[in-house]
Structure 1
Amino acid sequence: MTALICIIDDDDSFRTAIARLLQLRGYDVTQFATADDFLVEVRKGIEPDCVLLDISLPGLSGPALQERLVELGCSFPIIFVTGFGDVPTTVRAIKAGAEDVLTKPVSEQALMDGIKSALAHLHRDRSNREWRRGAHALLETLTPREREVFECVVRGKSNKQAGRELGITERTIKAHRQRIFEKLHARTVADLVSLAERLDLLSHQRIAVTDTRPVSID
């Protein structure tokens, strides 16, 4: 799918020139003269893959739009392209989540490199969100008891320790472990710990896992 780039700049000639350049490079482009016009489309559901945003705009400024988008939960990457760049402005924009701040007149190479980097970042973020949704869906397939056993396993508890903690037999723990590995598509305890860590389920615990062999319930 072709990436959609939105250009928000009140300089008609600059906006048109950049739009033509990006279209020649194969991108879909939508132009806006004000941040307010862009916000209208955001509320209608537009989802750009990258936004080229001027800092100084009539009405809502570029940084103010950036803040508004964060409030709305929008995560598409923003590259500021401005004729009035300075160090404090750049630092604030980057800290607020901007991908880059480019100063006009911007070179074609710098612009293309910035967009390429922003799109790569977007792809990584989308892939990670998709993985997290899938992982959470797998966790939802566990029964309450299996979830308790899962938590014991990723905390490094042995079958005997888990059974003592949960008040069930070691044999029952082994049966639950087997179903957990099957449901979560895991082969080793390390796989389960990695899953828990990536989902921030172990944020308050430190666990050392040395056993990376495929699981056995014997």
Structure 2
Amino acid sequence: MNRVVHVVDDDTAVRRSLAMLLRSTGHQVETYGSAEALLQTAEAPGGLAQGCIVLDVRMPGMDGLLLMEVLSRRGIRLPVVVVTGHGDIPLAVRAMRAGALDFVEKPYAEERILEAVGSALASSRQVDRQRLLAAQAQAKVGALSPREREVLAALMEGKANKVIGFELGISPRTVEVHRANLMEKLGVRSLPEAVRIGLEGGIGGAG
């Protein structure tokens, strides 16, 4: 999947030069002159392409911090690299606390901004992978019977077959059958693997 670097900066010259740099190194780039412009794209059919956001933290109208808050409320969680002027370090720190992945101070060296963008895109790929694994785990857990989910939840709490059988009103042998069936459906051979899928699939456990 091709990922896009979304550059948000009200300074036209800065926005264009950064876009040129990123494109010269093989990145796909979309540029926005304001936070509001990016939100318009986010609200349009198709929304924002997967990738990352390079965001000027101080802009007229909606600033970078407020944009991050709005995106978070809307469930748009692309990694963010904040770009800040010399006097805006405290603002950048607030942005980091709000979830920004990195911040780069102006004027920045090309190597520094490229490094930050590379890390953000790598983070984006990892998020996509985690979402895929979670979706796969949810599908596997969804294929379990209600009783098998109960047994898995109990196993995730570290309970022995005898205890599980007592609590569910079934024999330990029946617990073993359910355990074997659920592990087959989950496609795993060990209990730790089953526990991992259970957690990713939304089954709680006391650990």
Rg larger in structure: 1
1:60-139 matches, cutoff 5 A: 60-139=62-141
Asked if residue 141 in structure 1 is aligned to residue 124 in structure 2, the reply is no
What's the offset of the Cα at 1:167? 1.1
Aligned twin of 2:61: 59
For residue 96 of structure 2, give the secondary structure of its aligned residue in structure 1.
helix
Q: Which runs of 5+ in 2 are unaligned?
A: none
| Residue pairs, 1:160-199, within 5 angstroms | 160-198=162-200
1:198 Cα offset (Å): 4.8
Which has the higher relative contact order, 1 or 2, with Cα contacts under 8 A spaced 6 or more apart? 2
- SS of 2:188's equivalent? coil
SS at match of 1:10: coil
Q: Distance in 2 between matches of 1:159 and 1:63?
A: 51
Deviation at 1:189, TM superposition (A): 1.8
> Alpha-carbon deviations, 1:148-196, whole Å to 9, x = none?
1212222223322222221112232222111111001121122223333
Higher mean C-alpha displacement, 162-171 vs 6-15: 162-171
Structure 1 stretch displaced more, 123-132 or 78-87:
78-87
Letter in 2 for 1:26: G
Change (3 A) 1:176 1:66: same
Q: What letter matches 1:57 in structure 2?
A: M
Q: Deviations over 1:98-125 (max 9, x none)?
A: 1111111111000010011111111111
Q: Which residue of 2 aligns with 1:12?
A: 12
What amino acid is aligned across from residue 149 of structure 1 in structure 2?
A: V
Report the TM-score when normalising by structure 2. 0.91
Q: What is aligned with 1:214?
A: none
Count, aligned residues: 205
Instruction: Give me the CA root mean square deviation.
Output: 1.8
In structure 2, distance between residues paired with 1:53 and 1:157: 49
More helix by share: 2
Consecutive unaligned residues in structure 1, runs of 5 or more: 207-218
Deviates more, 1:59-68 or 1:109-118: 59-68
Amino acid paired to 1:179: N
What is the alpha-carbon distance in structure 1 between the residues aligned to residue 75 and residue 87 of structure 2? 26
Whether the 8 Å contact between 2:52 and 2:121 is mirrored in structure 1 is: yes
